[in-house]
Chain A
Amino acid sequence: MVHIKRLQEDGIDILSIVGEIDASSSIELDLAIAKSVGEGFKKILVDCSALEYISSAGLGVFMSYIEELRDKKISLVLYGLKERVFNTFSILGLADLLNIRSNRQEAKTLVNELSV
Chain B
Amino acid sequence: MANLLIGHVFVKMFKTKALIRLTSLVAIIAWVILVFSDVTVIYSDLKSLPPDIPTWLPRLMLDIFIVSLFYHYKFRIERDESLNFTDLLWKVFATGLIATVVSLAVRLVLFLLGNTTLASNILFMDIVYQITLALFINFLLAAFTSWKRLILYQKSKWLIRAWLVFELLLLSILVYDSIHIVISETITTLAIVIIGLLGLVLSANMRWVAYLNFKQKWTSLLLLLLSIFYLFYFLYSVTMWSDQISQQSKIFLDFQSHVFNIALLAFVLTYMTFSFLVILFNLPTSSVFEQKLEEVVNFQRISQSIQTEQNEESVYNILLESSVSSVFADAAWLEIKGRENEQRLFTHQITEKETKDIHAHLEKNKVKGALEQNSDKTKNLSKHLGSLKSTRFRSLLAFPIKVKEETIGTLALLKELPDGFNKEMTRIVSAFANQAGISIENFRLMEEAFQNARYKEELKIAKTVQKSLLPAKLEQDADFEISAFSASADEVGGDYYDTLRISDHEIALIIADVSGKGTTAAFHMSQMKGIFHSLAQQGPSPKDFMAKANKALVYCLERGSFISATYFVINTKTKKIHYSRAGHCPVLYYTTSTHQAAYLKDRGTALGMVRNNDYCNFVEDNEFPYATGDVMILYTDGITEAKNNKNEEFGNDRLAQALQQNATKSSKEIEESVIEKLYEFSGSEDINDDYTSMTVKFR
Contacts and interface: CB of A to CB of B under 8 A. Distances in A.
Interface of A: 23, 56-57, 59-61, 63-64, 66-67, 90-94, 96-97
B515 A56 contact: yes
Given A57-B515, A57-B516, A67-B611, A96 B560 contact: no
Given A91-B583, A91-B586, A92-B583, A97 B560 contact: no
B611 A91 contact: no
A93 B586 CA distance: 11
B584 A91 contact: yes
A93 B611 contact: no
B573 interface: no
Contacts of B604: 93
Contacts of A64: 559-560
Contacts of B561: 60
A91 to B, nearest CB: 6
B517 interface: yes
Contacts of A94: 583, 605-606, 609
A94 B564 CA distance: 11
B585 interface: yes
Given A91-B584, A92-B564, A60 B605 contact: no
Contacts of A93: 582-583, 603-606, 609, 618-619
A92 B605 contact: yes
A60 B605 CA distance: 12
27 contacts: A23-B517, A56-B513, A56-B562, A56-B564, A56-B637, A57-B515, A57-B560, A59-B515, A59-B562, A60-B515, A60-B560, A61-B560, A63-B609, A91-B564, A91-B584, A91-B586, A92-B606, A93-B582, A93-B604, A93-B605, A93-B606, A93-B609, A93-B618, A96-B603, A96-B605, A97-B605, A97-B618
A93 B655 CA distance: 22
Interface string B225-239: 000000000000000
A48 to B, nearest CB: 18
A94 B610 CA distance: 10
Given A64-B559, A66-B610, A93-B583, 4 more contacts: A92-B583, A93-B605, A97-B605, A97-B610
A60 B606 CA distance: 11
Interface residues on B, range: 20 to 34
A97 B605 CA distance: 8
Given A60-B561, A96-B603, A23 B516 contact: yes
Interface string B500-527: 0000000000000101110000000000
Interface in B278-310: none
A53 to B, nearest CB: 9
Interface of B: 513, 515-517, 559-562, 564, 582-586, 603-606, 609-611, 618-619, 637
Contacts of B513: 56
Q: Is the interface of A mostly helix, strand, loop or mixed?
A: helix
A53 B221 CA distance: 88
A91 B585 contact: yes
Contacts of B584: 91
Nearest to B614: A97
Nearest to A56: B515
Contacts of A57: 515-516, 560
Contact of A60 (B562, B611, B618): B562
Nearest to B564: A92
A82 to B, nearest CB: 13
Contact of B609 (A23, A61, A90, A92): A92
A96 B516 CA distance: 22
A67 B614 CA distance: 13
A23 B489 CA distance: 15
Contacts of B611: 67
Contacts of A23: 516-517
A61 B561 CA distance: 9
Among B516, B559, B561, B584, find the residue whose CB has the most chain A CB atoms closer than 10 A: B559
B494 to A, nearest CB: 10
Nearest to B494: A56
A94 B560 CA distance: 12
A97 B562 CA distance: 14
Among A60, A61, A90, A96, find the residue whose CB has the most chain B CB atoms closer than 10 A: A60
Among B517, B560, B604, B619, find the residue whose CB has the most chain A CB atoms closer than 10 A: B560
A46 B657 CA distance: 36
Contact of B562 (A63, A90, A91): A63
A63 B560 contact: yes
A15 to B, nearest CB: 17
Nearest to B617: A96
Contacts of B516: 23, 56-57, 60
A57 B559 CA distance: 11
A49 to B, nearest CB: 20
Nearest to B586: A91
A69 B584 CA distance: 25
A28 B586 CA distance: 30
A7 to B, nearest CB: 25
Contacts of B609: 63, 66, 92-94, 97
